[in-house]
Amino acid sequence: MSFHTREAVRLTVMLDDTDTWHHKPMCSEIVHRAHRAGLAGASIFHGMEGFGGRQVVHTTRLLSMADDLPVAVVVVDTEEHVEAFLPRLEELGIEGLITVEPVRVVCFGDERAPER
């Protein structure tokens, strides 16, 4: 099987699962905005334990702390596309941490596959 690699960036937005935008989950809103923007891919990952800027640990192990769990929304695409998407996140007033990191994407199959 043949493969090739290309450079891309990974945008990660760290939220609480109780964060909302117009009464729907903020994490879901980000994924739908990424989809509408034509980005290559986006996924939501639910955490079991974590803390953020308020330094309060939220965990599934204590029933009283089982709300407000960490959520990561991960988007991968070219640097150009991710940078163009950032203003759509700014509109949401996100209070969580946002990172953008370089990654190498591995593509299996035909090397002539179109680049985004």
- 41-46 vs 58-59, strand pairing mode: unpaired
Residue 65 sits in a domain whose CATH number is: 3.30.70.120
Q: pLDDT confidence of 30, banded at 50, 70, 90? A: very high
Q: Which tens digits make up the pLDDT trace of 16-27? A: 888 999 999 999
Domain annotation covers residue 50: yes
Q: Is the pLDDT of residue 113 over 50?
A: no
The one-character DSSP state at 27 is H
Q: The tokens 């990952």 sit on which residue?
A: 45
Range of the domain at 51: 3-108
Per residue in 45-92, pLDDT tens?
998 887 776 667 777 665 555 567 889 999 999 999 999 999 999 999
Would strands 41-46 and 24-25 be described as parallel, antiparallel, or unpaired? Answer: unpaired
Q: With contact defined as beta carbons under 8 Å apart, do 61 and 87 qualify?
A: no
pLDDT, residue 108, reads 87
pLDDT at 114 (0 to 100): 43
Answer whether residue 114 is part of any domain: no
Residue 115, domain member (yes or no): no
How far, in Å, CA of 54 to CA of 96, rounded?
A: 10
Q: Which residues contact 32 (CB under 8 A, 6 or more apart)?
A: none
- The domain total for the chain is 1
